[in-house]
Structure 1
């Protein structure tokens, strides 16, 4: 009987871990594949147009889904300031900056700077949330960053030929994502459903993008878009914008800042794998080594059951 009780307890403790691991895998797959997708889209669509389409579609799909599921669409007055602030940082700031940065620097360099986000989130979590940074967390972070360096190679770090504009924009994107993530955690328990919160965040962020698209851009008509643009846009809208963003909000609420942010280090590994499949890039040993290092970073943090005080 004691053995059965112990097994039941272990199985119960493992369920949240398995659920979080499933969310991490989905986020890594969806956002990892989004890197080459956005690169394809930007060949035809300018940044404001891309984000206006993405944010508007995300808002419509998520709020319609919430309506279909009969979830309350109303948000309390107490939650609106948090909803707006976290949406502006995690959605508008990060997505807009990454689009402009990829037009001004190689994608590999942009990815390295984007996924310094866990560093900034850990520091912001220590400052704003009082979360202690443990040696295990630093080890996981270092392991993941080592994986990124192996994956992208030293040549990606020496990208001074195109100036500092792109890297500075990308650094701003990483800081924006980190701050928004920490603010989600600082809010604590949200009363509204994650689908509703994310839907309204997209709706708020879509307004300035539509205005800027109309004022400053003249995108080509849809009939002139290449087939690759249509396919990439479909993937981007369904998996990256709609599903992954909602799953990210859910995961941040389930995990500590360290666990949630370090888990994002799997995303560029998936991005490179998808580039190999879609663009015919060679499969090398460094890809496997980077994958092992990145998965080790996730495991080191996720398998630590004692959360920092």
Structure 2
């Protein structure tokens, strides 16, 4: 009986871990595949138009789904300032900066710089939340960053030749996402459903993008868009905007800042792997090594109990 009880206890304790791993895997797949998708879209659409469509579509999908599920769409007055500020950093700042970064530098390099986000999030969490950074977290972060450096390869030595605009935009995206993530954690427990919060964040962020699109851009007629643009836009709206952003909000609320942010190191690896499949790039040994280092980083942080407060 005791042996059966212990097995039942172990199985019960494993369920949250399996759910967390599945959540991280889904986010990694959805956002990783979004990098080549956005690159395809930017071949036809300018950046403000892309973000206006994406944010408006995300708001419509999530709020419609919440209404269909009969979730309350109202957000308390105490949560609105947090909703707006975190949305500006995690959605508007990150997505707009990455779009312009991809127009000024190779997508793979932009992704790698943007996903230095865990470094900044850990430091901001120490400053804003008072969280201690453990040796294991530093080790996991080092493994992940080593994987990203291997993935980038010799191109890192030539980044300066392409100017500082693209790298600075990608770095700004990383800082914006890191700050927004820490502020989500700083708010504590949210009353509204993640789909409702994320939907309203998209709605707020869509307004300035629509104004900028009308003022600064003249997007081509949809009839002239390439087939790849339509396919990439559908993926972008459903998986990256609609699902991954909501799952990320849930991820941050379930995990510590260190666990949540270091888990994103899977995303650029998936992004490069999807580029191999979609663009016909060869599978190199560097990609394989980077994948192993990145998965090691996640395992170090996720597969052991936390010791930090």
Residue aligning to 2:275? 275
> Which residue does 1:40 correspond to in 2?
40
Question: Aligned in 2, Cα 1:51/1:280: closer, same or farther, shift over 3 Å?
Answer: same
* Aligned-pair CA distance for 1:285: 1.5
**What are the within-5 Å matches in structure 2 for residues 135-284 of structure 1?**
135-284=135-284
Take 1:88 and 1:157, find their aligned partners in 2: how far apart are those partners? 33
User: How many angstroms apart in 2 are the aligned matches of 1:5 and 1:123?
Assistant: 42
| Corresponding residue pairs, total | 309
The corresponding residue for 1:93 is 93
Are 1:195 and 1:246, in contact at CA under 8 Å, matched by a contact in 2?
yes
Name the structure 2 match of 1:115.
Answer: 115
The worse-fitting range, judged by mean Cα deviation, of 203-212 and 160-169 is: 160-169
RMSD: 0.9
Q: Work out the CA distance in 1 between the residues paired with 2:79 and 2:63.
A: 17
Aligned to 1:10: 10
Cα distance between partner residues in 2 of 1:111 and 1:142: 17
Deviation at 1:190, TM superposition (A): 0.4
Alignment check: 8 A CA contact 1:49 1:213 kept: yes
Using the TM superposition, name which of 298-307 and 128-137 deviates more.
Answer: 298-307
Distance across 2 between alignment mates of 1:290 and 1:173? 22
CA distance in 2, matches of 1:37, 1:87: 22
Structure 2 counterpart of 1:126: 126
Contact 2:86 2:183 in 1 (8 A): yes
Alignment of 1:277-292 (within 5 A): 277-292=277-292
**Separation in structure 1 between the aligned mates of residue 155 and residue 216 of structure 2, nearest angstrom:** 35
Q: CA deviation at 1:108?
A: 2.1
CA distance in structure 1 between the partners assigned to 2:151 and 2:24 by the alignment: 20
For 2:128 and 2:3, locate their aligned partners in 1 and report how far apart those are by CA, in whole Å: 43
Contact 1:93–1:173 (Cα < 8 Å) also in 2: yes
Question: Residues of 1 paired with 2:190 and 2:155: CA distance?
Answer: 44
Residue range with higher mean Cα deviation, 9-18 or 98-107: 9-18
Instruction: Report the CA distance between 1:7 and its aligned residue.
Output: 1.6
Deviation readout 1:192-244 (Å, 9 max, x if unpaired):
00000000000000000000000110000000111111111010011001100
Deviation at 1:272, TM superposition (A): 1.0
2:108 and 2:272 in contact (8 A); partners too: no
The residue number in structure 2 matching 1:82 is 82
Which 10-residue stretch deviates more, 170-179 or 10-19? 10-19
Q: Deviations over 1:56-95 (max 9, x none)?
A: 0000000000000000000000000110011000000000
Gaps of 5+ in 2: none
- What is the deviation of 1:4? 1.8
Q: Distance in 1 between matches of 2:261 and 2:162?
A: 29
Return closer, same or farther for 1:157/1:112 CA change in 2, 3 Å cut-off.
Answer: farther
Q: Distance in 2 between matches of 1:227 and 1:247?
A: 28
Moved runs in structure 1, 4+ residues, more than 3 A?
Answer: none
| Residue matched to 1:103 | 103
With 107-116 and 169-178 compared, the bigger mean Cα shift is at 107-116
- Cα distance, 1:83–1:157 mapped onto 2, change above 3 Å: farther
Mapped contact 2:58–2:241 kept (Cα < 8 A): yes
Unaligned ranges ≥5, structure 1: none
Where 1:103 maps in the other structure, the secondary structure is helix
The whole-number CA distance in structure 2 between the counterparts of 1:127 and 1:8 is 40
